Amino acid sequence: MDVTHTKSLCTPSDHRWSRRQWLGATAGAAVGAAGLGGLLQPAIAEEIAKTNRQVLFVWIDGGMSQLESWDPKPNTKFGGPFRAIPTSVPGIHVSELLPQTAKQMHHLAVVRSL
């Protein structure tokens, strides 16, 4: 075998954690667990239940683009191939592919940017 090839192989020593790496990972996990534990407290759960709201996260991996659904960008060169239709919220438009959603838009909130 070529000497340069053997030096590029992965060895068990490449996967050893230093004490600093282990402490950092452990501390990060502890902080994360403590933060999540706070969400499970009954008082917080009761407060969340009082608002009576739900979240629906729509992730369409490989599906319609934002231009063909929630953010059609009407009257621009960047707009999608479908026309924008008005919704039950004045000034908000969605794609013509979502007519039932457009009727219920007053119940929804759409985040179009991050």
Q: Tokens 């592919």 belong to which residue?
A: 97
Q: Do both 67 and 114 map to the same domain?
A: yes
**pLDDT of amino acid 6:** 55
Q: Do both 84 and 59 map to the same domain?
A: yes
**What tokens were used for 102?**
């457009």
The segments of the chain whose pLDDT lies below 50 read none
Q: Do both 46 and 59 map to the same domain?
A: no
> In terms of residues, how long is the chain?
114
| Residue 96 contacts residue 84 (beta carbons within 8 Å) | yes
Q: Do both 59 and 84 map to the same domain?
A: yes
Say how far apart CA 8 and CA 11 lie, in whole Å. 9
**pLDDT of amino acid 14:** 62
Say how far apart CA 94 and CA 69 lie, in whole Å. 6
Q: Do both 36 and 88 map to the same domain?
A: no
**pLDDT of amino acid 59:** 76
**27 is in which domain, residue-wise?**
15-51
Domain count, the chain: 2
Q: Do both 44 and 81 map to the same domain?
A: no
| pTM, 2 dp | 0.49
Per-residue buried b or exposed e for 40-56, using 16+ beta carbons within 10 Å of the residue's own CB: eeeeeeeeeeeeeeeee
Q: Is position 97 within any domain?
A: yes
Q: Is 73 left (phi over 0), alpha (psi -120 to 50) or beta?
A: left
Contacts of residue 40, defined as CB under 8 A and 6 or more positions apart, other chains included, come to none
Q: Is position 75 within any domain?
A: yes
Q: Do both 40 and 87 map to the same domain?
A: no
